[in-house]
Amino acid sequence: MAKVTVNGIEVEVDPSYTILKAAEKAGVSIPTFCYHPRMDPAGSCRICAVELEDSKRVVMSCVTPVADGMKVLTESPKIHDARKTNLELLLLHHPLDCPVCDCGGECPLQNMSFAYGATESRFESHRNDEQEDLKSDVLIFNANRCILCGKCVRICDEIQDVHAIGFINRGFDTIIGPPLGKKLDCEFCGDCLEVCPTGAITDHFVRYKFRPWQLEQHQTTCTNCSSGCQMHVETENESIVRVTSKEGLGPNEGSICVVGRFGFNHVQTPQRFDTPYMRIEHRLVPSSWEELLPELANRLNAIRRKGTDRVAGLISSRVSLEDAYVFQSFFRRVLRSNMIDTGARYGFMNAAIPLVEATGTLRPLVDHEDLLKAKVILLIGTDPVAESNITGLFLKRAARKNRAKLYVVDSEAITLSNRASDHIRINPGGESLFVSVLTEEIVSGGNLSDEWLTRKEELFKNWNVDPGVYQRLVNDLKTAETGILVTGRKMFRNENASLSMVNLMKMTGALGWIEKEGCGILPIPETANDLGVLMMGATYEWLPGLLDARNETSRKKWENAWGTSLSYGSGGGLNQILQGIEEGKINALITMGENPIGHFPAGSKVREILGKLDLIVSLDMFQNELVDMAHFVLPASSSFERTGHFVSVEGFVQKSVQTMAHWGESLPDWEILEKTSLAMGNPMGYESSEGIMKEILRFLPDLSPSTRNGEHFVGGTGDIHLVKPVDSTGFSNPSHVNEPGNISRLSFEMPPHKANRNSVSARFSEWNGKTQPVLDAVSVIPGEGEFVFSMTKSLFHSGKMTLQDPNLKKIQPEGKLRINRQTARKRKIKKGEKITLSSIHGRCSFVVEPSPMVSEFELVFPEHFADSQVLALFPSEIAFSPETGTPTTHRIRVSLSTETVS
Amino acid sequence: MAEVKYAEVTYEDIEEICEEFSNREGAVVQILQKVQEKYGYVPADALEFVGEVLEIPKSKMYGVLTFYSQFYQEPRGKFVLKVCVGTACHVRGAGLLVDKIKEELHIEPGENTEDMLFTLEPVACLGSCALAPMAMVQGTAYGKLSADKMVSLIRQFEEEAEKEQEPV
């Protein structure tokens, strides 16, 4: 330890500290421009100068390490002069256009000039007269305002690993920008915009639309993906002006992605429903809640009286815990139905069911910090940068800075591939075989039977797996001190996904990663609250707390909790719901942000089946195919207009707060259901989202809000109290609730976000007795002149909803079919041209975009843009997985022609 | 009038050049020099390909390219008239040479003639002050020049180019 005195305050710090960090510890703030806590210091702006008392030397505090006995002055006359001169020099070039600069009012350069009284320069001013670079649709580069601190270039290199911008030219002519005078082409995370200490980088979307001091700031949780980023939504007159992030805040540490930063405008577009609609004589007519609710209640009551499981419900997995909880409560308690399912059914369920069976929880074994400590990381079937951007950032850091061995198994190159020590570009269709063989290799300790050896041989022969790389992977996995397996959307949506997941779990177990701290498996949920919605029991399998909905004991538990008897039927998921509707056993459907028609090919019978319903109620924000059929369209509030909790990929339970006024007559989903139950004469009695969360916590106390640093970023959690769990499942007995001894203040107890390793290990060893599924490759190997068409998540959209976002639409206006660059050249297909794909089921035209990332066998399309036309390539007969009931429409064999169809 | 001809660059050609320097990241300047030698300038595609081979981001490659004034991003004339404007040459009338070229070929410093035959490039000292005022064209030094001599030199190059174009 080194003893350092900063302005007379003595602190003891690690000798690796810089003066700046030591000063921070002493509570002394030193101004900076180019310093950034997450990046290597650059020492280029010279504003953090400090004086060493003994030697009288002026040094830069951000790059100078401390020494024992060092005495530092941060505000001596000498330093004041140095900083003032420095500012005068900066202001030689920097224009004083603060009145028209977006940064004015929150500009460190402005503040510093003010603080040091650099009112006039002793030097002859020499303003630059560079044209602004307006080429990008997102960011504007103004070289005149730039002080060349390089923070933007560094954050793009060091944190984002994107390298989109750099220094151009030399000396006085140096500017910052994208290479070759081209339009900026990057991930548009906007981190450069965030760190710029001047108005040199601004964005098109909000330019000239605000003055920072007039904005109201709301700290909230982003609900676009499962990263659970903390961000600041800034509003004026209750509408959103911009979204910013704050360094170090939240699990995202201050970085947010393109969707979070720029994708906020869809909630304030005129396309949104602002009033409830009712269908009268085949037409949807605007109505009011007062007029509509009694009518809806009557019709629901009539159907409810026919028996149990008569009304089906589909809920999006992007809603809050509160909404999901009330949803299942409404169905089970009021409608007596267990015919409910979530959007997770389309993919994440393939991971969730095996996970719950094997570990008893959906909480992850590892979080992002564990990724930084891991020695070996295997990414299989996931593109974390697009699926959960912050997981991607941590993986980038793990591989680049911490030198973790990163293995990627994927048919296409992903952003992380160039950081991987090896990328196994397995041919599409071979994933299940790969997982199966790898699992057997690990589980059997390398003693493969002849049958398995044949399989392994096949892997090498037909599926583009290099034996050497494979062996390296096996060795690294076996010998890894700490290892983590990351899997995600591409894996969940593959054929045999749930069985592959079982294999992966068994492999994780055989490697000893279930018991070992810092090791494990990290499945990346597909949406912001896949985990939370399932934990709330918004699916037929589970009651809240992941208790088996069809088990008598768990049903009793919730009957006690709610003080009512539960008489729902055996229920079913998406598959059974569609079947039930077709057979006339289900008469009504209520959807919350879900549109089943959009998930299935045009030729499928889904639309026809839904046509048999007596009643369709759609709670949504925008028009869609289901809305066109619905009898009642109820305007739902967006996540910016209500308060709710979300469970992140790391298991943090975080609060998203209301930041803008309700759009028109729209209401939060839970409130619509509550009002409906009231109109039905069977009120559930929920009054506020705080009240609902309180009820959830009363029964499931381990869902208490949590964040990485143990502090509650999202305001106070109000008067929510924690109840200590009284039985091993974490379920608290409601009769104990009011006993004062069971209540402890939230601040005393930081709920763990990760799974409890002991209980998981115990449960796992029991489950591990289950037979290991033996999987073969799926035969989608393309023949001569054929391709595999597959769909992936785009970085620039969160779901179908963000397609309505004017900002994001500017960034990615349409879905383009990505094709291998060489293949395109060979076939003389150019960027922007239209081609036609045909499968045995149908055909569809696409605009192509050659890409070096895609394998020569594949054609990749962003799933958000997949409408029924695109889905026409898939069989109209929907295949549901026998294990998890998930429908598989992920990839299909196609042939390509350059003719176009209309 | 001949159009500006952009070079066609193939990935394989660039790979070959990088291979000469064992794909070393540190040799990026030499590689770019070699590229410029081959194409007369550094085509944008070539810059990208070099980046891909050496695994250097495009933005960094462009930073290197624009940092050094020795690299050109646009095609240049067949004959680059490097007129020395260093101190010695300046004193002995280099300015007159430059003016004459401007007048004769209707180009400004740094520009190409429309037929892509000439580029005027005033340079700082070429180290042959004894020959002042001097110029260098295609690696050959021409010393003790005058405005008139410069004109005849230009004519000579024009003839040379014409001869090359005639069918054998």
Q: Kindly give the parts of chain B with pLDDT less than 50.
A: 1
CA distance B12 to chain A (A): 13
- Given an 8 Å threshold on Cβ–Cβ distance, is A166 in contact with B47? no
Pairing between strand B140-142 and B135-137? Answer: antiparallel
CB atoms under 10 Å from CB of A57, counted, come to 11
Last residue of a domain, one of A500, A523, A546: A523
Ordered DSSP codes for A212-250: GGGPEEEEEE--SSTT--EEEEEEETTEEEEEE--TT-T
Chain A residues whose CB is inside 8 A of the B66 CB are 168-170
Whether A315 is covered by a domain: the verdict is: yes
Whether A92 is covered by a domain: the verdict is: no
A505 with A354: CB under 8 angstroms?
yes
Distance CA A292, CA A279 (A): 10
Domain total in chain A: 4
The helix (run of H) or strand (run of E) holding residue B44 is helix B44-54
Domain of A812 in residue numbering reads as 786-897
- Given an 8 Å threshold on Cβ–Cβ distance, is B62 in contact with A164? no
Chain A residues whose CB is inside 8 A of the B47 CB are 179-180
Whether A670 is covered by a domain: the verdict is: yes
Query: Among residues A349, A355, A413, which one has the least CA distance to residue A383?
Result: A413
Distance CA A568, CA A301 (A): 15
A224 with A798: CB under 8 angstroms?
yes
Task: Tokens for A340, please give them.
Answer: 């409910």
Query: Among residues A896, A842, A834, A847, which one has the least CA distance to residue A869?
Result: A842
Examine the domain organization and report whether A728 and A849 are in the same domain.
Answer: no
A780 with A891: CB under 8 angstroms?
yes
Give the strands of the sheet with A632-635, arranged side by side: A283-286, A277-280, A632-635, A615-620, A588-592, A311-315, A340-342
Examine the domain organization and report whether A456 and A359 are in the same domain.
Answer: yes
Best interface-test mutation with B: which of A163, A184, A185 has the largest number of B CBs within 10 A? A163
Q: Report the SS3 class of residue A849.
A: strand
Examine the domain organization and report whether A623 and A697 are in the same domain.
Answer: yes
Give the CA distances from residue A299 to residues A327, A632, B118, in Å, rounded to whole numbers and listed in that order.
18, 11, 86
CA distance B149 to chain A (A): 36
CA distance B60 to chain A (A): 6
Q: List the CATH number of the domain containing A476.
A: 3.40.228.10
Among the partner residues A157, A170, A179, nearest to B62 by beta-carbon distance: A179
Whether A372 is covered by a domain: the verdict is: yes
Examine the domain organization and report whether A340 and A382 are in the same domain.
Answer: no
Distance CA A703, CA A692 (A): 13
- Given an 8 Å threshold on Cβ–Cβ distance, is A180 in contact with B62? yes
Task: Tokens for A165, please give them.
Answer: 């911008």
Give the CA distances from residue A11 to residues A22, A66, A79, A563, in Å, rounded to whole numbers and listed in that order.
7, 11, 21, 58
Examine the domain organization and report whether A437 and A551 are in the same domain.
Answer: no
Examine the domain organization and report whether A802 and A667 are in the same domain.
Answer: no
- Given an 8 Å threshold on Cβ–Cβ distance, is A170 in contact with B66? yes
Chain B residues whose CB is inside 8 A of the A157 CB are 57
Q: What is the pLDDT of residue A248?
A: 81
Tell the burial category of A838 from Cβ atoms under 10 Å away from its Cβ (0-12, 13-18, 19+): middle
- Given an 8 Å threshold on Cβ–Cβ distance, is A166 in contact with B44? no
Last residue of a domain, one of A523, A557, A573: A523
Distance CA A552, CA A503 (A): 31
The sign of the CA dihedral A702, A703, A705, A708 is positive
Interchain contact B110–A (C-beta under 8 A): no
Examine the domain organization and report whether A499 and A592 are in the same domain.
Answer: no
Q: What is the pLDDT of residue B3?
A: 60
CA distance A131 to chain B (A): 18
Whether A40 is covered by a domain: the verdict is: yes
Whether A138 is covered by a domain: the verdict is: no
Best interface-test mutation with B: which of A153, A167, A417 has the largest number of B CBs within 10 A? A167
Q: What is the pLDDT of residue A701?
A: 83
Distance CA B48, CA B60 (A): 10
- Given an 8 Å threshold on Cβ–Cβ distance, is A163 in contact with B61? no
Chain A residues whose CB is inside 8 A of the B55 CB are 418
Examine the domain organization and report whether A493 and A553 are in the same domain.
Answer: no
Q: What is the pLDDT of residue A732?
A: 40
- One-letter identity of residue B70: Q
Q: List the CATH number of the domain containing A854.
A: 2.40.40.20
- Given an 8 Å threshold on Cβ–Cβ distance, is B59 in contact with A170? no
Cis, peptide link before residue A683, omega less than 30° from 0: no
**Residue B55: left (phi > 0), alpha (psi -120 to 50), or beta?**
left
Whether A504 is covered by a domain: the verdict is: yes
Domains of chain B: 11-67 (1.10.10), 79-165 (3.40.30.10)
Q: Report the SS3 class of residue A280.
A: strand
Helices (H), A413-529: 431-443, 450-462, 467-479, 489-492, 497-510
SS3 content of chain A, % helix, strand, coil (to 5): 35, 20, 45
Report the 3 state secondary structure along A309-329. CCEEEEECCCCCHHHHHHHHH
A327 with A340: CB under 8 angstroms?
yes
- One-letter identity of residue A516: K
A844 with A873: CB under 8 angstroms?
yes
Q: What is the pLDDT of residue A725?
A: 38
- Given an 8 Å threshold on Cβ–Cβ distance, is A163 in contact with B57? yes
Examine the domain organization and report whether A481 and A560 are in the same domain.
Answer: no
Distance CA A37, CA A764 (A): 40
Examine the domain organization and report whether A573 and A457 are in the same domain.
Answer: no
Whether A175 is covered by a domain: the verdict is: no
Examine the domain organization and report whether A655 and A559 are in the same domain.
Answer: yes
| DSSP structure class, residue A812 | S
Distance CA A565, CA B67 (A): 77
Interchain contact A822–B (C-beta under 8 A): no
Give the pLDDT means over successive 10-residue stretches in chain A (902 positions).
94 94 92 92 92 94 95 94 91 89 92 83 79 92 94 95 95 92 93 95 93 92 94 93 89 93 95 96 95 97 96 96 97 96 96 96 95 96 96 95 95 92 93 96 94 95 94 96 96 92 96 96 96 97 95 93 92 96 97 93 88 97 95 96 94 91 96 97 94 91 74 37 38 38 39 89 92 85 86 92 93 94 92 93 93 92 90 88 87 86 56
Examine the domain organization and report whether A729 and A853 are in the same domain.
Answer: no
* In A753-833, beta strands by DSSP E: 786-792, 817-820
Interchain contact A288–B (C-beta under 8 A): no
- Given an 8 Å threshold on Cβ–Cβ distance, is B55 in contact with A418? yes
Last residue of a domain, one of A75, A96, A131: A75
- One-letter identity of residue A500: S
- Which residue on chain B is closest to A184 by alpha carbon? B59
Q: List the CATH number of the domain containing A586.
A: 3.40.50.740
A851 with A858: CB under 8 angstroms?
no
Interchain contact B67–A (C-beta under 8 A): yes
- Given an 8 Å threshold on Cβ–Cβ distance, is B44 in contact with A418? no
Report the 3 state secondary structure along A569-608. CCCCCHHHHHHHHHCCCCCEEEEECCCHHHHCCCCCCHHH
Query: Among residues A512, A449, A482, A505, which one has the least CA distance to residue A369?
Result: A482
CA distance B150 to chain A (A): 33
